[in-house]
Structure 1
């Protein structure tokens, strides 16, 4: 079953690929600038509100994406089966779900598709306020020096394709997370921001790890 949050997330992904924010997309579509803002996506009791068909069609026209293509993409999205905990609901009233970097080694933070889930996530202030499955990580160690200092934040988006030279986060439960840049050479290796760590860190094969692309940073 497709949910309202699935529609919002798919629209956000298309907009980001074209360098548009929610408000920028709304303005380009001739709509009120707040139409697609996260603050307007929540309904009664904190449930996600469905996007109107008229607004969706105008947005897809700007994004040069046919409705049939958009719908087909939704049908192919991996959904958690019944009995498996769903992704986090959107944060109502501003902020994003997030955790300090040092907390990312614990079990149960992501579902099998790399989407944040569970009760360990905290509501954090962030100027971007992107909806789940995007999440924010607060840098609370010196593992990212000298590129990112303690107190900075990074926003990540599960499901976004990772390419060479992308800034990424690798999370392996039970291990220290790695933040760095994807190497241009195979096999996949991350060059950590922490230059004192020495050689790059290989990306594990198979399941049990999560590799997410950093889409925004804050000082």
Structure 2
């Protein structure tokens, strides 16, 4: 077990409940800065372990079983949950519309008029939204007309399928294959389309795809 695996599990637990890590800490009665990046390393730069008490409190506050949290530590990306989810209606627009002005605010959250709504398997992320796929760059995984649900709160890691918006206004569904301080690489699953490379400043935001119609 590695330090970063536990911290990643805490990040994912917060996202699963539509919370930032600060909000998760507050919900559990902890100092809001308990899980901040600055608290994850000591003065010597080495990772710290979160306390067992703080983990117990966040599990109690979110009614999460220890075995589900353990699954997050060992690599699960979502908590298996058969309970009814909090939201069933998600704002929806077409991928082509998403690239025009007025549908997202500066943080990449749905905003403005023009959104439809669709009833789909939902997420606790209050800012989740749905896009209707256009184009063939993600075939055969996503085809024209498929619906994807996107969560701005979900942590994004290499290997995830994401929706990204460029500073030039283009919105695209891709797979994140590399992310460094100087470069972000996005892959089109259809080999007929080239891999795209961006400086971090050239992407306004990048959100994880958490569900797709098939």
Please, what TM-score do these two structures have when normalized by structure 1?
0.54
Tell me the alpha carbon deviations over residues 36-69 of structure 1, each in whole angstroms, 9 at most, x when there is no partner. Answer: xxxxxxxxxxxxxxxxxxxxx996152379xxxx
Matched with 1:28 is none
Provide the C-alpha distance between the structure 2 equivalents of 1:61 and 1:139, rounded to a whole number of angstroms: 33
Matched with 1:192 is 188
- Flag the structure with higher strand content: 2
Gaps of 5+ in 1: 1-9, 18-56, 66-92
Provide the C-alpha distance between the structure 2 equivalents of 1:196 and 1:176, rounded to a whole number of angstroms: 19
Gaps of 5+ in 2: 1-11, 20-57, 67-86
Tell me the alpha carbon deviations over residues 161-214 of structure 1, each in whole angstroms, 9 at most, x when there is no partner. Answer: 21110111112365443212111463211111232122x212443376221111
Matched with 1:126 is 120
Change (3 A) 1:181 1:161: same
Please, what TM-score do these two structures have when normalized by structure 2?
0.55
Provide the C-alpha distance between the structure 2 equivalents of 1:124 and 1:59, rounded to a whole number of angstroms: 32
**Would you say how many aligned residue pairs link Structure 1 and Structure 2?**
144
| SS in structure 1 of the partner of residue 201 of structure 2 | coil
Q: Does 1:62 align with 2:63?
A: yes
Tell me the alpha carbon deviations over residues 97-138 of structure 1, each in whole angstroms, 9 at most, x when there is no partner. Answer: 011112111012222222111112111232336563001111
8 Å CA contact 2:92, 2:118 repeated in 1: yes
Provide the C-alpha distance between the structure 2 equivalents of 1:193 and 1:158, rounded to a whole number of angstroms: 22
Matched with 2:131 is 137
Q: Does 1:161 align with 2:151?
A: no
Change (3 A) 1:205 1:193: same
Provide the C-alpha distance between the structure 1 equivalents of 2:158 and 2:13, rounded to a whole number of angstroms: 25
| SS in structure 2 of the partner of residue 102 of structure 1 | helix
| SS in structure 1 of the partner of residue 192 of structure 2 | helix
Q: Does 1:215 align with 2:187?
A: no
Change (3 A) 1:130 1:97: farther
8 Å CA contact 1:96, 1:130 repeated in 2: no
